[in-house]
Amino acid sequence: MEKIIGLIDAPFTPFYDNAEVNYEPIPAYAAMLAKNGLKGVFINGSSGEGYMLTEDERMKLAEAWIKAAPKGFKVIVHVGSCCVKSSHILAEHAHAIGAWGIGAMAPPFPKIGRVEELVNYCEEIAAGAPNLPFYYYHIPAFNGAFLPMVKFLEAVDGRIPNFAGIKYTYESLYEYNQCRMYKGGKFDMLHGQDETILPSLAQGGAQGGIGGTTNYNGNNLVGIIEAWKEGDIEKARELQNFSQDVINVICHYRGNIIGGKRIMKLIGLDLGKNRTPFQNMTDEEEAAMKNELEAINFFERCNKF
């Protein structure tokens, strides 16, 4: 099964002022991401407010992204849901419209507390698109599924034929590397934390990743990998440290889903506000965030259209 090389973006979902989905910016959005070195998108996940979208909206977004995708640009569809039957339907739809792959995080309710429960959940979803790569999205801070991922790989190995790997969004670089080394690197371990790309490269195996700050800082994050490959460790460090500076700013404004989405407006692509129950930024917060970004010369270095 093909392994992903390079960085995949986790895009935001555009909304109108009335909170209806706005599909119009997606072609320009896709073109901008590709121009800045991103290799595809993982849509309808946490950055995309996927759990606040209807089944129909998620399908229409998938169709819009696939239609807009440049040649060779991968579209992976997050199909996770609290209703596994909905997930199965979304997986079938993703396959029917030509998605490159599918993925799912553990549901926020009911909380999954055992590896076997998680395997059962993934197995039923993956069966909806048996010919597409299926990725488990490990982000326990969102759903409380603090489960051992090496044990998960052992349990899923040979049981789900189209299981491709894990989008690993957690702080344990040790566990990430243990998963990466499982059976000589059998599964695709996609690094999911933009703040630690360089140390994961130094461990010897991060070939691909999926990020959220890649929406507006992708060229710098791609640059970390390129500098590492060229043996320029000092440049890689500078780019990683700058990327952490950007993350430090958005952490002052409720993180990437809220603060990061508003940055898109500041760089020229207004994707609207967040859907309820997210607490949107005020105009005063936006101005303060802009000042913080200007202080680190972000707008000279951010993604360009």
**Active-site residues: which are they?**
137, 167
Rounded to 10 degrees, the C-alpha dihedral 81/83/86/88 comes to: 80
Q: Where are the beta strands (DSSP E) in 149-227?
A: 163-168, 188-191, 208-211
C-alpha angle with apex 102: 16 to 114, nearest 5 degrees? 105
Specify the residue for token string 């849901």: 81
State the pairing for strand pair 163-168/188-191: parallel
Concatenated DSSP letters for 22-40?
Answer: --TTHHHHHHHHHHTT--E
Residues near 4 by beta carbon (within 8 Å), at least 6 away in sequence: 39, 40, 74, 188, 190, 207, 208
Rounded to whole angstroms, the Cα distance separating 204 from 20 reads 44
The dihedrals phi and psi of 206, each to the nearest 5 degrees, come to -75, 100
Q: If DSSP codes are grouped into helix, strand and coil, which group holds residue 107?
A: coil
Rounded to whole angstroms, the Cα distance separating 131 from 164 reads 11
Identity of the residue numbered 119: V
Identity of the residue numbered 203: Q
